[in-house]
Structures are given as C-alpha cells and as structure tokens.
Structure 1
Amino acid sequence: MPVRRKSVGRPARTSLSALLDAAVELGLDRFTLSAVAKRTGIAEATVYNYVSGRDELYRLACDRLFAGVTLETDPAVDSGSWTDYIDNVSEQAVTLAAAHPGLTEYLFYGPLGPETVRIYRTIVDETMRRCPVLDANTAYFVASRSFLAALTLASHPRYHGAGRWLRQALTAGIDTRIAAGDLPELPGDWTDVLEDLR
C-alpha cells in the first residue's frame, strides 16, 4: 500500500469559486472585499491572493453568473426565427439581472469577461444562422440592441413584463425592416465593440 505524503504548507482555506459565490450572495452591486472575506472565513488580505481587487472580483462574478444563460433552444418549441431566439436568451438575462442588481451595469459597460464574450459571439452566430441576410455587424446590432433594451427595465420589477413586450415590439419592427431589405450600414467590425468593453 503506497504511503500518502502530506502536502507542505497550510491547506487552502478558500477558493476563487467560493469568493465568487460570496460576492453574488452578498450582492453584485454592494459587496465589499471585507464582507467577502468574512463570509468565506479568511482574512481580507487573503482575497488578494485570488484577485487584484473588488473590480476584478465583480467582473469574474458577473461573468460566471451570466455564463448560466442557456444558448441552445428546444427544437420542439423553437420556430427557428432570430426574434424568438433573442427573446428566449434575453428573457433569461433579464431574469438574472432582476435577481442580481449590478449585473445590468456589467452587461452594458463591462469590462466583459471571457464567458460573456463567448455568449455574445454565440448570439451573433445564431442570429446570422437564423437570418442569413444579416452580416455579423448587423446581426450584432439587431440582437444586442433588442437584448439591451429589455435589460434597461430589469431593475424595475413592475416593468418586467413590459420588458418582454418592448423586446418583442423592437424585434418585430426590426424583422419587418429586414424583410423589406432595409438594413443599416454599420462600418467597422462588431467585435471592436466587445474589445472596448474588455
């Protein structure tokens, strides 16, 4: 039977995952590093072994939380339209943002983490797949504007239902313009917008 050696040094008392959990539980819009440290049972100075400061912990917590959005749709109920797809993804994001104040600001202003960038890229790819007349710039524009418009109401619980109405009204109007061949001219590369938010 092999002999197991004990590792040298102190055992880990926390993890980045535990710090992220604590930040979300305390509230993305109000957690402090001292409160996160207290919740995880460590000294505040130990937090800096995992992150450079509150801003980084906020970004990582938001990124991980937003990564829970399901980008796949149920083929049995998916009509295949880009508008239904955006509505589904947006509803999930609005629900998350309503439950976690501070997430909306992250999605609007960044800095965006890698999972959030992956989600935006997937949304653009899915929008183009479902509406092949759109190039990547236009797909980003129509999908993100509809998505972000609904998020503006996430912090107002009484308007949550109105957010869905607003999003569906926007996408229906945009879809009518697309069908008429009326597409906006968008210079540059849409990924520059994401880079500006990183």
Structure 2
Amino acid sequence: MSTNSNVKFNAKEIAIYGLFIALVYIATTINIQIGSTSGGLFHLGNVMSFTIAMVFGKKAGALSGGIGMALFDILSPYAVWAPFTLIIRLIMGYAIGYFAFKASNSKKQSIINNSIGLIIAFIVMIVGYYVAEGLLYGNWIVPLQSVFANALQCIVGTSIAVPISTALRAGFKIRHIKTEI
C-alpha cells in the first residue's frame, strides 16, 4: 500500500522527535500553579521547548513544544486547553527555530535573529492564550490578569534557555555535529 505525503519522517527523526516531546512533557510537569481563576501554570516546559527550537530548528521546536505541552494538558486537569496549546506552541516553536537557523555571518546578527524569533513567540503566546481564555470564559476582561504571568513565563524561559542553547550549539559546532533536524 502506497501513500502520497509531502511530510516524510525517517525512523531516526521519529525517535528524536518522540524524545523531544517527552522532554517537553516532563519539563512541563515541573510546575507551580499561578492565578486562581485562569488555571495558569509556571513550568519548565518553556525552557525545554525554547532550547530544542534554538538548537535543533523549527520542525523540532514546533513538534516538541506543541505536542509535548498539549499532551501535558490532555493528561492533566487542563484538557480543555489542549487544542489551544497545540496551535500556540507549534507556532512559537516554529518561529524560534526558524529565526535561530536563519543564515548569519556574525554573532551580532545571530543575536538579532534569535531575538526576533523569541519576540514573535512571546507575542503569539500572550495573544494566543488571551484569546483562548476569552473564548473559554466568554469574558475579555478576566484574561487580562494572565498577560503578566504569560510574559513572565516567556522572560524566565528565555533567560534560562538562551545560555543553555548557546552552550549546546557551540559544543555541537566544535564537534561538527549537525543540529537542525
């Protein structure tokens, strides 16, 4: 039986993506509840997701962040959030990974590219979860309380992921290991 598909994964990629999804899921389980009405969490999933996107590229970042965090939602009391999380995190991981691997000839340009990807991801997260919360609660005022917490999540996730990603990419470069999957 033959199938036509533009998206093809080999066994190695499937195993690597599965590992990345599991890492994001596990990191997301390390969390602290924030806010009383919105069900928001402060978790380490952002650190793992951002790191994977910056080190391994857009496809790895999108799949690991989207599926890993949506899986967490499905297996927790936050199942209603899973479709929103999947879409929001797919876009975030793709943006971060895309800009992290944009061609650059200088360290300054690399910093600019990473910053652009992270800023886009921040905007997607804040606006995406604001809209999701507004739709879920039928109220566009209540979700405003989550904006600060989501921004803080992005800032903390970035402040931890950037140095880790920088070190990993440098180490892989020294060993001539290709990272973009």
| TM-score, normalised via structure 2 length | 0.48
Name which one, 1 or 2, has greater alpha-carbon Rg.
1
Greater share of helix residues, 1 or 2?
2
The answer to which structure, 1 or 2, has the higher relative contact order (CA under 8 A, 6+ apart) is: 2
